[in-house]
Homo-oligomer: A and B are copies of this chain.
Amino acid sequence: MHPPSIQKLINLFSKFPSIGPKTAARFVFYLLKMEEKEIKELVNAISEMKEKVRLCDSCFKPFEDELNKNKLCEICKDPRRNKAIICLVENETDLISIEKTKKYQGLYFILGGNVSALRKADFKKLRTEELLQKIKNSNPPQEIIIALNPTIDGEATILYLERKLKPFNLKITRLGRGLPVGGEMEYADQETLASALENRR
């Protein structure tokens, strides 16, 4: 129904996370209305981002390094950060969510891979080997916080990682459960409620 060059772009945008063909079509019509100058700005921003950004050798956080001189991101290089704690997160977004709380002073490690549709093959997409190398090579951390979502997929990943980390004899912790801000006891499951009681303060 659409002209081929429009359909092709719809197909490409449909692969973007959480985007279906209807929203993808709206993107294309939005681009169609954009002026040449704005299109250039977008295309250049994409290229520039791909050129400038690299992943930190230690935690895999994306950071900008135009001259290709640095191997570590600004968090891993920061001398005020507590190197004895490593917080494992699924992706960049979760890392930023934790940073925004301003309550965490340790380091991170981005596991990558899509935990949210977990099959055996998905475990391979996690940076498990890189994590184990990091623990072996450096001064071993005192604590690993596995900061994954308390969903079914997240729990499966937590169990997998706990098994892999067990031989190193580290303190391994998970995020505390409880009622979130705005939550209501009436709709909470028993496990959440039990944790909320246990973690009372």
Q: Which of A18-26, A129-137, A161-169 contacts B (4 or more CB under 8 A)?
A: A18-26
Copies in the complex: 4
Any chain B CB within 8 A of the CB of A100?
A: yes
Inter-subunit contact B175/A150 (CB<8 Å): no
A6 surroundings in chain B (CB, below 8 A): 49, 53, 62, 64
Inter-subunit contact A103/B180 (CB<8 Å): no
Instruction: State which of B39, B49, B89, B93 has its C-beta within 8 Å of the C-beta of A5.
Output: B49
Residues of A within 8 A of B (CB): 1-6, 8-9, 12, 16-18, 22-23, 25-32, 36, 39, 41-43, 45-50, 52-53, 62-64, 89-94, 96-101, 103-104, 145, 147, 149-152, 173-186, 188-201
For the complex of A and B, 7 pairs with smallest distance between CB atoms: A176-B199, A178-B178, A3-B64, A176-B178, A175-B196, A173-B200, A101-B194
